[in-house]
């Protein structure tokens, strides 16, 4: 039986901080030739989840897009001596919680909003292709902020309503490192909740107030993640993209304009890199916002 994690790469952008990256491999699909969340919402775009390690302990930030990936993460952690694991969920979407079952014997921390979203969407998660069954729920929840020490690191879990209303970033204030989940993406953000777009824009402004030095998103370019991540230009690029969409939504000329032209300034300034799979995301974003305007 094929191991879905066979193309996963492991990076260590900072000491004791591992990135588990898979996807962005031309012509390869994991589940089906038909449109599905695993191939088209995760693998084609590329996804990284993360682990902080100190001595025999680890914090796993998102459990990846399949049980195979989660098992590979756990095997790696155990191979370097980890015997105690806590999980933090960035939000409820499939490619971030699909591996929860592998960590069912661990503490799983999430926002209350994430726990509610998982429960509210349990049937969809368990029946869509590929299914996530059973949906393993968080064992510890919080509302806006949860702070604790982890070895020599201070860790803060912070709520930001970006991409999804239950967005949770993992912030390492002493090092200025942000594990961003899906609050930020390269090339562009995926608009999952168009009705909350103005909130997302305001929250991106609030996120930029953190003294960030390095951003590690779940969806980004592997070579940049491996080298230590993005700077705060990624926040501005995601925010300017949303503002530009709003400004030009009624302009029919954007339907024929390629994404790399739509975000040309941010690409030229090095804030983001163009990745062709995001063309489909861009078209979906335009359609979602236009559909919302009709009502």
Is residue 251 in a domain?
no
Burial class (CB in 10 A: 0-12, 13-18, 19+), 201: middle
Q: CA-to-CA distance for 230 and 220, rounded, in angstroms?
A: 9
CATH number where 86 lies:
3.60.15.10
Cα distance from N-terminal residue to C-terminal residue, the chain: 47
Question: How much is the pLDDT for 41?
Answer: 87
Closest CA to 190 of 100, 275, 120: 275
CA distances from residue 138 to 50, 101, 110, 182, 198 in whole angstroms, order as listed: 18, 11, 6, 19, 29
Is residue 295 in a domain?
no
Question: How much is the pLDDT for 292?
Answer: 86
Q: CA-to-CA distance for 281 and 190, rounded, in angstroms?
A: 6
Structural domains in the chain (count): 1
Structure tokens at 107: 């503490």
Is residue 54 in a domain?
yes
Across the 295 residues of the chain, what is the mean pLDDT of every consecutive 10-residue run? Answer: 92 98 94 91 96 98 98 98 98 98 98 98 94 97 97 97 98 98 98 96 98 98 98 98 96 95 97 96 96 71
C-alpha torsion 99→104→51→3, nearest 10: -40
Question: How much is the pLDDT for 281?
Answer: 96
Structure tokens at 133: 């069954």
Residue 219 phi/psi, 5-degree rounding, is -115, 110
Q: CA-to-CA distance for 140 and 161, rounded, in angstroms?
A: 20
Q: CA-to-CA distance for 87 and 134, rounded, in angstroms?
A: 17
Residue with tokens 């163009």: 274
Is residue 133 in a domain?
yes
3-state secondary structure the chain: CCCCCCCCEEEEEECCEEEEEECCCCCCCCCCCCCCHHHHHHHCCCEEEEEEEECCEEEEECCCCCHHHHHHHHHHHHHCCCCEEEEECCCCCHHHHCCHHHHCCCEEEEEHHHHHHHHHCHHHHHHCCCCCCCCCCCCEEECCEEEEEECCEEEEEEECCECECCCEEEEECCCCEEEEEEEEECCCCCCCCHHHHHHHHHHHHHHCCCCCCEEEEEECCHHHHHCCCECCHHHHHHHHHHHHHHHHCCCHHHHCCCHHHHCHHHHHCCCCCCCCCHHHHHHHHHHHHHHHHCC
Is residue 254 in a domain?
no
Neighbours of 258 (CB within 10 A): 12
- Identify the domain containing residue 29 by its residue range: 9-231
Is residue 178 in a domain?
yes
* pTM of the predicted model over 0.75: yes
Is residue 222 in a domain?
yes
């Amino acid at each position: 039986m094929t191991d879905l994690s066979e193309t996963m790469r492991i990076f260590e952008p900072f000491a004791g901080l591992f990135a588990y990256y898979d996807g962005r491999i031309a012509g390869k699909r994991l589940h089906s030739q038909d449109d599905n969340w695993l191939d088209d919402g995760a693998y084609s775009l590329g996804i990284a989840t993360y682990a902080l390690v100190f001595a025999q302990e680890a914090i796993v930030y998102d459990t990846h897009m399949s049980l195979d990936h989660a098992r590979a993460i756990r095997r790696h952690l155990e191979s370097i001596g980890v015997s105690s694991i806590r999980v933090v969920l960035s939000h409820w979407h499939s490619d971030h919680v699909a591996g929860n079952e592998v960590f069912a014997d661990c503490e799983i921390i999430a926002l209350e909003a994430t726990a509610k979203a998982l429960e509210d969407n349990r049937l969809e998660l368990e029946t869509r292709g590929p299914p996530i069954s059973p949906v393993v729920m968080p064992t510890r929840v919080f509302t806006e902020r949860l702070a604790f020490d982890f070895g020599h690191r201070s860790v803060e879990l912070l709520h930001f309503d970006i991409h999804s209303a239950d967005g949770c970033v993992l912030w390492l204030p002493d090092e200025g490192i942000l594990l961003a989940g899906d609050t930020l993406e390269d090339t562009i953000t995926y608009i999952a909740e168009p009705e909350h777009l103005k909130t997302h824009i305001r929250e991106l402004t609030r996120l930029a107030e953190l003294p960030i030095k390095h951003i590690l998103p779940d969806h980004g370019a592997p070579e940049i993640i491996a080298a230590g991540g993005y700077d705060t230009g990624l926040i501005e690029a995601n925010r300017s993209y949303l503002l530009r969409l709003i400004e030009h939504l009624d302009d029919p000329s954007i339907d024929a304009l390629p994404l790399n032209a739509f975000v040309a300034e941010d690409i030229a300034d090095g804030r983001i890199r163009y990745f062709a799979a995001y063309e489909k995301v861009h078209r979906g974003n335009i359609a979602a916002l236009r559909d919302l305007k009709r009502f």
